Amino acid sequence: MASPRQLETRARTAARRQLAQALYQLQLTGQPWQDIHGQFAAESAFAAADAAFFKEALSGIAGSMPDLDVELAEFGKIPARQLDPIEHGILWLGLWELRCRPEVPYRTVIDEAVRLAHAFGAAEGYRFVNAVLDAASRVHRAPERGAA
């Protein structure tokens, strides 16, 4: 039987998986995040996800996309508009977590993003996701990484 911590981890992972898809949809359709949230929340697969985290992340990312894109361009060395939409969404999620969820270890953020890129992204996209979020973690999580 899974412990409460394991169940929480699985629910968060499921939410991230659905967020990758929701953020892709947000980019392609331009729908309000509230509509996308409603659509995903109505699906049966949503029952396995951390619903509060999904909503918080989706609304937080949708409200800060321009700021996130500025940072992504800095850390990724290319304009955000040139990113593949699925990797763009995964990077938004990872960067948002690095910035806004300090209780989630930076290694977990990067690992989850790389897994999403493996699952949904281009063949070598996970390498770019890893490099960008590693660079971002050096700024946003310097104390956690042991930097002076």
pLDDT of residue 35: 98
pLDDT surpassing 70 at residue 62:
yes
Angle formed at CA 76 by CA 72 and CA 77, multiple of 5 degrees: 110
pLDDT of residue 147: 64
Share of the chain above pLDDT 70, in %: 99
Strand boundaries in the chain, DSSP class E: none
- Predicted model pTM: 0.94
* AA letter at 134: D
The per-residue pLDDT for range 86-115, each reduced to its tens digit, is 999 999 999 999 999 999 999 999 999 999
Question: What total number of domains does the chain contain?
Answer: 1
CATH value at residue 81 = 1.10.940.10
**Residue 66 dihedral angles phi and psi, to the nearest 5°:** -60, -40
Domain containing 20 equals 4-145
Q: Are 77 and 132 in contact (CB under 8 A)?
A: no
